[in-house]
Amino acid sequence: MTHLVVEILADIKEAVKAVENIKSLVTSAETKVESARKSLDIRRNDLDLGNKNLAVSSNALTNAINTVKVAKEEEGRRKFLITNFRPEVVKKTKDVEMAQASVRDLETALQEAVSFLEFVNPADNIEYQEALGKVKEAEIALGLADVALITVLKNQSEFQNLLDSYEQNLVNIQTQLETNEANQLEAQKDFDRAQQLQIEAQAKYEIALKTFNELSGDLSTLEANGAAENDKVLQAINDLSVKTILAKKIKDLEQTVKGLELTVGGLTAGSSEIVKRVTHLEVGADDLDDRAYVLEKKVDFVGRSKRLVIPNIFSSNKWDSPKL
């Protein structure tokens, strides 16, 4: 049994060594898992930041697109307004030209009337009054024409100013539209970069998550193996305890056997005396048989009418049937 104990001790040492190795591997695996967890947290934060940046870029791009859309709509309205308003300005310009021509004609007529008045003899009252009346009529007509010219000039100026304003607004809108379109291009580039970074962050996060899960799985396997090896150590220790107790019992039995052997030796030495006594008892038993036979005869003689059953207790064979 001693060699079994030695073997179990060797098994325990090997199991303990295996447990220590697994503990070392578990410690290393825990370090790797912790590192992977930190990396996963970093990647998750990067992914969250990427998603936020992508959302911001998307909103900026949407706003830029809407701004360009509004600017284009405003440009369209201004072009439409200018297109429809320019004929009015042209018309007003023609009205001015006509009024100016009318004024020039009336100025000529006035000059002619004045010249004619200079040639008229003031003594000729009738002719002079007629010539003077034509001059006054020409002056009145010229005055009215001047008023009309001023009115059409004012209208034409107002319309022209409006047209100039519309055209300037159109230029400003087109300039702003160019700026907005440039901003839209930049917003699109920012969105594309943010989207690419988000895709890269997503890929890195998935890799980090996969690594973390794999390392966690390895750690769980190592922990399970460690528990199994630890159970082996406990089982080996339990076996050692059982074997040790068994070995002690065997040793005690060996001591008991030795004691019994000594006792048997003593009994063997006294057996011859016992045999002698048994022989003496057998001789005495034969004598008792003889006496019983004599007694039986005497009883038979006294009364044959009665059948007596007397067991032969003195027979050398105690299993003989009793004699009648």
pLDDT at 257: 58
The CATH number assigned to the domain holding 59 equals 1.10.287.950
Buried b (16+ CB within 10 A) or exposed e, 41-75: eebeebbeebeebbeebeebbeebbebbeebeebb
pLDDT at 14: 80
State the sign of the Cα–Cα–Cα–Cα dihedral 102, 107, 111, 116.
positive
Three-class secondary structure assignment of 62-97: HHHHHHHHHHHHHHHHHHHHHHHHHHHHHHHHHHHH
State the total domains in the chain: 1
Our measurement of the distance from residue 108's CA atom to the centroid of its chain's CA atoms, rounded to an integer in Å, reads 96
In a domain, 324, yes or no: no
Work out the angle at residue 256's Cα, subtended by the Cα atoms of residues 253 and 258, and round it to the nearest 5 degrees.
110
In a domain, 274, yes or no: no
pLDDT at 305: 45
In a domain, 231, yes or no: yes
| Number of residues in the chain | 324
Query: Cβ(194)–Cβ(50) under 8 Å?
Result: yes
In a domain, 306, yes or no: no
Q: How far is CA 30 from CA 18, 23, 231, in A?
A: 18, 10, 21
pLDDT at 201: 94
pLDDT at 321: 44
In a domain, 318, yes or no: no
pLDDT at 21: 87
Cβ atoms < 10 Å from Cβ of 231: 12
Task: For the chain, 324 residues long, give each residue's pLDDT as a single digit of tens.
Answer: 567 667 777 877 887 787 788 888 889 988 989 999 999 999 999 999 999 999 999 999 999 999 999 999 999 999 999 999 899 999 999 999 999 999 999 999 999 999 998 888 887 788 889 989 999 999 999 999 999 999 999 999 999 999 999 999 999 999 999 999 999 999 999 999 999 999 999 999 999 999 999 999 988 998 888 788 777 777 777 776 666 666 666 666 667 757 655 655 555 555 555 456 546 555 555 665 565 555 555 545 445 544 444 444 444 554 444 443
pLDDT at 314: 46
* Domain ranges, residue 244: 2-251
- The rounded distance, in Å, linking the Cα atoms of 254 and 109 is 167
In a domain, 169, yes or no: yes
pLDDT at 302: 45
In a domain, 38, yes or no: yes
pLDDT at 6: 75
In a domain, 293, yes or no: no
pLDDT at 164: 93
Look up residue 59 and give its amino acid: N
